Structure 1
Amino acid sequence: MDPVDIGLWGVPLAILGGAIRVSTPFIFVSLGECLTERSGRINLGLEGTLVFGAMSGYAMAYETGSPFIGVLAAAVAGMLFGLFHGWICKFEGVNDIAVGIAMMLFGMGLAFFLGKPYIQPVAPDLPAIGFGWWSDIPQVRAALQVNVLFIAGGILALVMAWMFRSTRVGLVVRVVGDSTDAARAIGLNPDVVRLLATGAGGALAGVGGAYLSLYYPGSWSEGISSGQGLMAVALVIFARWNPINCFWAALLFGGAGALGPALQSVGVSEGYYLFFAAPYVLTLGLLILTSSPDRAMQGAPLALSLTK
């Protein structure tokens, strides 16, 4: 079908489609970090987990011919990184942030080393669902191609919000995240809870990495993450540690990332590369806007390293 000139309507349409595509890794990494931070631990190593998950998922999808096995492998790899991070952080005197930076560098270095044989081979892509079947306009159909992981991320955000509000598991995580002493007083082991939360958060970050390599952009390369793991930490703060807010904030970040290609699609080429900086400018702006003493940590778990 030949392209149809839809004029300036192409900009919001391209931003919508781009937001859906670009936001999915942000959704999974931010939900993983939200879970980890609600338990009272910050994990700055998710950038390394994201990259290693992307490499692991791509390699397993190529070797097995199944993108879903690739996603599972990425989740397992991310979980192992998270558990290792959580195990180190349980020792007295160990700083969460320093360990996170070390894990980020370790994960990226290991992914680059092990992933070199998979830069050229082509792995199968994850499937997408076409919600634009009702339209004859190719741009609409392309914009409404929604990957299954985006849908799963939206459902997961709702499930996590319900879990924190209405289940024993959510209550345990919240108690540990707010007061280590109170958790011990009622018979909980904060180290175990934080270890499991960090492992689960790492698994979600690994899934986000698999999306990058198996759908968008859909290949494995050493610069695949572009700092999305680190930006997700700012996203969680902006979302006030609320899973549903994380989903909407991820869409906002995704839309910012899609701004440059959207403007190029209608012929705006001057300063095109500057628009690629939009997600980073947005991250900086949100951190500045939320940095006032009375607002910055509103809703934060009281035992979180950031609040100390």
Structure 2
Amino acid sequence: MSADVVVTLASAILGGALRVGAPFLFVSLGECLTEKAGRINLGLEGVLVLSAMCAFGGSYLSGNVWIGVVCAMLAGAALAALHGALCSLPRVNDVATGIALMLLGMGLAFYLGKPLIQPQAPQLPPIELGNWSDTPAVKAALQINPLVPLGMLLAAAMAWAFANTRPGLLVRMAGDSSDAARALGYSVSGIRIAATAAGGMIAGLGGACLTLAYPGSWNEGISSGQGLIAVALVIFARWSPLRCVGAALLFGGAGAIGPALQSVGIGWGYHLFNIVPYVLTLVILVLSCRPGQLAAGSPGELSSAR
């Protein structure tokens, strides 16, 4: 294998990790915030699909890609806020509600998005990181979604906020000990609804990445289960926003191996490499979750029966 092929392959995997990992990054950050407050949102797959459709629809109907991004955030926040409100009711289970809202979000997206399957919408302008190379394949591989740097800054801001701000402390308190939060006079339900809605808004940016950057179109199979994979990704990251960045890049790189090999003319096993993210999810769950033991870093309230 020549040096040029190696450089092209490495660039394709790196660029693919940044592109494919972008939705993972935002959905995992959203779920991290939600779980830090003591709530699980398995409906993030529905949030991701609905926000992807709204992003594409907003961009297509308005002609402005950033309006599409705002639409994605609002759609994600609305569906997640509904999840938070329902889970605050007595005897309502987080997991069952999340699955129901996942189906609701996907159903709404599929129904409302039927007219959007064929049209093309304005796309996010890429950041060119490959101008140092004369190889077209390298330049194409290193065209980065402009939301990716925003996601990395958001992860750093969340980590800082959890450790140094009063709202961050309240979110952690609601997730670690709801009794302590109530004893100090705070509404645990209010904190969790706000955190869940904010988490859905962040996850909505992942939906915008799907339809406004890569792959850049709307269809009913757009997410491929990334919203559900993000739950395992948060466990793997030990509920740390900064580790979510590394975990998202790992999953993105795993998903980019097949296309990267194809870009250098290696077509054998292309479909086999497409299952790597799902196999990685199973491996992480097996290694991270042990019967009778809490994962390190897990918010205390997540272990209680709900």
- Under a length normalisation based on structure 2, what TM-score does the superposition of the two structures give? 0.96
What is the aligned counterpart of 2:189 among 185, 188, 191? 191
Q: In terms of mean alpha carbon deviation, does 297-306 or 101-110 score higher?
A: 297-306
Shift of 1:271: 2.1
- Residue 42 (structure 1) aligns with: 40
CA contact (8 A) 2:77 2:197 kept: yes
Letter of the structure 2 residue corresponding to residue 205 of structure 1? A
What's the offset of the Cα at 1:296?
Answer: 5.0
1:1-308, aligned counterparts within 5 Å? Answer: 6-293=4-291, 296-304=294-302
Are the structure 2 counterparts of residues 194 and 15 from structure 1 closer, same or farther at C-alpha, using a change threshold of 3 Å?
A: same
Task: Provide the aligned length of Structure 1 versus Structure 2.
Answer: 305
SS in 2 for 1:281: helix
Report the residue type matching 2:99 in the other structure. I
Paired letter, 1:201? G
CA contact (8 A) 2:129 2:143 kept: yes
Following superposition, the deviation at residue 97 of structure 1 comes to: 0.3
- Structure 1 window deviating more from structure 2 (291-300 vs 97-106): it is 291-300
Q: CA RMSD in A?
A: 1.6
Residue type matched to 1:51 in 2? V
Question: Shift of the alpha carbon at 1:293?
Answer: 4.8
Q: 5+ unaligned residues in a row in structure 2: which ranges?
A: none
1:215-265 deviation per Cα after TM superposition (whole angstroms, max 9, x unaligned) = 100000000000000000000000000000001100000000001111122
CA shift for structure 1 position 40:
0.1
Deviation at 1:270, TM superposition (A): 2.0
Give the unaligned 5+ runs of structure 1: none
Q: Distance in 1 between matches of 2:233 and 2:250?
A: 10
Q: Structure 2: how far apart are the matches of 1:19 and 1:236?
A: 17
Over the matched positions of the two proteins, sequence identity in percent amounts to 59
Alpha-carbon distance between aligned partners in 2 of 1:305 and 1:219, rounded to the nearest angstrom: 39
CA contact (8 A) 1:290 1:296 kept: no
Range 244-253 or range 125-134, more displaced: 125-134
